[in-house]
Chains A and B, each alone.
Chain A
Amino acid sequence: MKISIEVNGEAREVDVSPWKRLLDVLREDLRLTGTKEGCGEGECGACSVLLDGEVVNSCLVAAGQCDGRTLTTVEGLASRDDVLHPVQRALVECGGAQCGICTPGIAICAANVIDRGLVAMALAAGDEALARARVRELLAGNICRCTGYQLIVDAILVAAREAAQRDPVTVPIRRRKPTTGRGGS
């Protein structure tokens, strides 16, 4: 089956079985080996890529599902003239990578978190602990055996602060209403 995908801003076409895993299409047919295979069963997040801007585990996506869609892999995070994405730079500077197998997936998910401003509100409110907790919750689908996560969270917050300075959040900060009784979110 002929499948056309826009990969990192470039139109590509591959002729593969529609059942082939997206991960294998990326690594074998498109030779984009930045995306790594961890567990191969959707638990670890090492093979995360952005499919139409949503994070997916590429080991769980069939090639046939990707026809006509847009993909971003870790190779596409840096700009064309090799300027790293802020989160990649922060991971390097903070020491947020050790053996490196989980790093491409973490870079993709963290870039998605930052580019969508998902911790911007917590940072704008000046709540460091909330921002850290939010990062930990959002990245919980990516397992890392080496780092203990601490330096990765540090790096993501460095990059998120940088992004917040570049384009400050204008979202009004909602104070939590006093709740009556239990519940409320």
Chain B
Amino acid sequence: MQAIDVGKAINPAIVKGQIEGGTLQALGWAVLENVVYKDGRVANATMTNCIVPTFADAPELETILVEVPYPFGPSGAKGVGEIPMDGPAAAVANAVEDALGCAFDELPISPEHVAAARPRWQIRETEAEDAS
């Protein structure tokens, strides 16, 4: 779930679509998508090996449009296409860090990367300890 200040939503359906699309791209970037270069070429240029989230991978997304008219934009609107890309990857990284007790400073945080970081894991023993 996310709330985004969009200035004024001129067409709320399209604004929501832009935000949800950007969010899923960012989540894909956070955990799945990895562009590999080899000798100056993209080595995984097909959908078989550069994984883009599908319907089944995507979580249910809930979007709240916060409308605060922006005096410098047309009809009070703000650009909204880019902003959803900023937060989700950092949120995923923070969540993984919270769960494993070690930071990740590279994307994607794929299962392979999580497994490779095993020596750095510092998982707290119990939920009780977590709460105290």
Number of interface residues of A (CB under 8 A): 27
- For residue B126, CB closer than 8 A to chain A, the reply is no
Among B13, B18, B55, point to the contact of A149 (Cβ < 8 A).
Answer: B55
Q: How many A-B residue pairs have CB under 8 A?
A: 72
Using Cβ atoms and an 8 Å threshold, which residues of chain B touch A140? 54-56
Among A43, A136, A151, point to the contact of B13 (Cβ < 8 A).
Answer: A151
A-B contacts, 10 of them at CB < 8 A, read A41-B48, A43-B47, A94-B13, A98-B17, A142-B54, A145-B25, A147-B20, A148-B17, A148-B19, A149-B58
Cα of A139 to Cα of B24 in the assembled complex, Å = 16
Using Cβ atoms and an 8 Å threshold, which residues of chain B touch A132? 60
Interface residue ranges, B against A (CB under 8 Å)? 11, 13-14, 16-25, 46-48, 52, 54-56, 58, 60-61, 63
How far does the Cβ of B121 sit from chain A's closest Cβ, in whole Å?
29
Q: Does B61 lie within 8 Å of A39, measured CB to CB? A: no
Known: A94-B13, A95-B16. A148 touches B24 (CB 8 A): yes
Using Cβ atoms and an 8 Å threshold, which residues of chain B touch A39? 46-47
Among B14, B21, B48, point to the contact of A148 (Cβ < 8 A).
Answer: B21
- For residue A143, CB closer than 8 A to chain B, the reply is yes
- For residue A125, CB closer than 8 A to chain B, the reply is no
Using Cβ atoms and an 8 Å threshold, which residues of chain A touch B19? 148
Q: Does A135 lie within 8 Å of B55, measured CB to CB? A: yes
Q: Does A139 lie within 8 Å of B55, measured CB to CB? A: yes
Enumerate A148-163 residues with CB–CB distance to B below 8 Å. 148-153
Using Cβ atoms and an 8 Å threshold, which residues of chain A touch B16? 95, 150-151
- Which residue from chain B places its CB closest to the CB of A149 in the assembled complex? B58
- For residue A124, CB closer than 8 A to chain B, the reply is no
